[in-house]
Amino acid sequence: MNAASLSAPALRCDNLTLGYDRHPAVHHLSCEVDHGALVAIVGPNGAGKSTLLKALVGELKPLQGAYALGAPRERIAYLPQLSEIDRSFPVNVFDMVAMGLWHQLGPLGGLNRGQARRVRATLAAVGLSGLEQRPIGTLSGGQLQRARFARLMLQDARLLLLDEPFNAIDARTTEDLVALMLTWHAEGRTILAVLHDLERVHRHFPQCLLLARESLGFGPTASILTEPLLLRARRLAETFDDHAPVCHRHPAPEVA
Amino acid sequence: MAEWLFAPFADFEFMRRALAGCLALALGATPVGLFLLLRRMSLMGDAMAHAILPGAALGYLAFGLSLGAMTVGGIVAGVLVALAAGAVARSSILKEDASLAAFYLISLAAGVLIVSLRGRNLDLLHVLFGSILALDDASLLLIAAISSVTLFALALLYRPLVLECFDPAFLRSVSVLSPVTHYAFLVLVVLNLVSGFHALGTLMAVGIMVLPAAAARLWTSRLSLMLALSAVTAVLSGLAGLLASFHADVPAGPAIVLAAGIIYVASLVLAPGGLIGARLWRRPHLEF
β-strand partners of A14? A66
Q: Are B28 and B195 in contact (CB under 8 A)?
A: yes
Q: Are residues A208 and A144 in the same domain?
A: no
Q: Which of A187-191, B240-244, B270-274 has the lowest mean pLDDT?
A: B270-274
A175 and A146 within one domain: no
- In terms of domains, do A11 and A127 share one? no
**Confidence category of residue B98, pLDDT binned at 50, 70, 90:** confident
More confident residue, A100 or A214: A100
Interface test with B, best of A20, A91, A95, A160 (most B CBs within 10 A): A91
On whether both A174 and A229 belong to a single domain, the answer is: yes
3-state secondary structure chain A: CCCCCCCCCCEEEEEEEEEECCEEEEEEEEEEECCCCEEEEECCCCCCHHHHHHHHCCCCCCCEEEEEECCCHHHEEEECCHHHCCCCCCCEHHHHHHHHHHHHHCCCCCCCHHHHHHHHHHHHHCCCCCCCCCEHHHCCHHHHHHHHHHHHHHCCCCEEEEECCCCCCCHHHHHHHHHHHHHHHHCCCEEEEECCCHHHHHHHCCEEEEECCEEEEEEEHHHHCCHHHHHHHHHHHCCCCCCCCCCCCCCCCCCC
How many C-beta atoms surround the C-beta of residue B93 within 10 A?
7
Note the pLDDT of residue A94.
Answer: 96
* Strand ordering across the sheet containing A190-194: A76-79, A159-163, A190-194, A38-42, A207-211, A215-220
pLDDT at B92 over 60: yes
A76 within some domain: no
Indicate whether A103 and A178 sit together in one domain: no
Residues A182 and A236 in one domain: yes
B95 CB-near residues (< 8 Å, 6+ apart): B89
Question: Does B160 sit within 8 Å of A85, measured CB to CB?
Answer: no
How many other C-beta atoms are found inside a 10 Å radius of the C-beta of residue B48?
27
- Evaluate whether B66 touches B59 at the Cβ level (below 8 Å): yes
Q: In Å, how far are A26, A44, A194, A210 from A48, measured between CA atoms? A: 5, 9, 10, 10
Residue-level pLDDT at A73: 85
The residues that bridge with A20 in the sheet, in sequence order, are A23
Question: Which residues of B fall within a CB distance of 8 Å from A103?
Answer: 174
- Residue pair B242/B18 in contact (Cβ under 8 Å)? The answer is yes
Provide CB contacts within 8 A for B259, sequence distance 6+. B236, B237, B238, B240, B241, B244
B156 CA: distance to closest CA in chain A (Å): 7
A96 in contact with B, Cβ within 8 Å: yes
Cβ atoms of residues B243 and B66 within 8 Å: no
Q: Kindly tell me if the per-residue pLDDT of B277 is higher than 90.
A: no
CATH code of A184's domain: 3.40.50.300
Inter-chain residue contact B222 with A96, CB threshold 8 Å: no
Query: Is A102 an 8 Å CB contact of chain B?
Result: yes
Which of B38, B156, B177 lies closest to A89 in CB terms? B38
Q: What is the pLDDT of residues A11-70, one digit of tens each?
A: 999 888 888 877 778 888 888 999 999 999 998 888 889 899 999 988 888 888 889 998
Higher pLDDT, B284 or A72: A72
Q: Do B160 and A107 touch (CB under 8 A)?
A: yes
Residue A77 lies in a domain: no
- pLDDT per residue over B36-46, tens digit each? 999 888 877 88
Q: Which positions in chain A touch B160 (Cβ < 8 Å)? A: 107
- The answer to whether residues A185 and A239 belong to one domain is yes
Of A131, A156, A181, the one marking the end of a domain is A156
CB pair distance less than 8 Å for B157 and A57 = no
Measured between beta carbons, the chain A residues lying within 8 angstroms of B217 are 90
Verify that A118 and A67 share a domain, yes or no: no
Instruction: Tell me the three state secondary structure of residue B44.
Output: helix
Residue of A86, A97, A154, A161 to mutate, testing the B interface (most B Cβ within 10 Å of its Cβ): A86
**What's the pLDDT at A255?**
47
Nearest CB neighbour to A90, from listed B168, B170, B223: B223
Domain containing A112: what range? 82-156
Residues A119 and A61 grouped into a single domain: no
For residue A239, report the phi and psi dihedrals to the nearest 5 degrees. -90, 130
The pair phi, psi for residue A67, each rounded to 5°, is: -135, 160
Range B152-166 average pLDDT? 94
* A87 and A45 housed in the same domain: no
pLDDT at A251 over 60: no
DSSP 8-state secondary structure symbol assigned to residue B274: S
Inter-chain contact B169–A91, Cβ cutoff 8 Å? no
Please check whether residue A90 touches B, CB under 8 A.
yes
In A, which residues are within 8 Å of B220 by CB distance? 90
pLDDT at position A5 over 70: no
Q: Tally Cβ neighbours within 10 Å of residue B117.
A: 10
Mutate to test the interface with A, among B158, B170, B178 (most CBs of A within 10 A): B170
B169 reaches A (C-beta below 8 A) = yes
B85 contacts: CB under 8 Å, gap ≥ 6: B44, B47, B96, B99, B100, B103
Inspect the interface and report whether the beta carbons of B38 and A108 lie closer than 8 Å.
no
Q: Which residues of B are less than 8 Å from A57 in CB distance?
A: 172-173
Q: Give the integer Cα–Cα distance in Å for A43 and A194.
A: 9
Side chain identity, residue B77: A
Residues A132 and A9 reside in one and the same domain: no
Average predicted confidence (pLDDT) for chain B? 87
Same domain, A248 and A178: yes
pLDDT at A189: 95
pLDDT at A253 over 60: no
Count Cβ–Cβ pairs < 8 Å, chain A vs chain B.
58
pLDDT of residue B256: 95
- Contacts of residue A126, defined as CB under 8 A and 6 or more positions apart, other chains included, come to A146, A147, A149, A150, A153, A176, A177, A180
Residue A127 Rama label (left phi>0; alpha psi -120 to 50; beta) = left
**Res B94 pLDDT > 80:** no
Between B182 and A190, where is the model more confident? A190
Interior angle at CA A247, CA A244 and CA A251, nearest 5 = 165
Which A-chain residues 192-251 have CB contacts (< 8 A) with chain B? none
Domain boundary among A156, A187, A202: A156
> Could you confirm whether domain B2-280 is CATH 1.10.3470.10?
yes
Of A13-22, A232-241, B245-254, give the lowest mean pLDDT range: A232-241
Q: From chain B, pick out residues whose CB is under 8 angstroms from the CB of A151.
A: 170
Calculate how close chain B gets to A86, using CA atoms only, in Å: 5
User: CA angle B45-B48-B50, nearest 5°?
Assistant: 115
Q: Convert the pLDDT of each residue in B173-183 to its tens digit.
A: 888 898 889 88
Average the pLDDT over each of A20-34, A90-104, B2-16 and give the range with the smallest value.
A20-34
Q: How far apart are CA B288 and CA B283, in angstroms?
A: 14
* Count of domains for chain A: 2
Strands A159-163 and A76-79: parallel
Nearest residue on chain A to B174, alpha-carbon basis:
A74
Tell me if chain B has a CB within 8 Å of the CB of A12.
no
Residue A128 forms part of a structural domain? yes
Count the neighbouring beta carbons within 10 Å of the beta carbon of residue A196. 15
Residues of chain B contacting A72 with CB distance shorter than 8 Å? none
Please name the amino acid found at residue A184: W
Residues in CB range of B117: below 8 A, 6 or more apart: B61
Q: Where are the domains of chain B?
A: 2-280
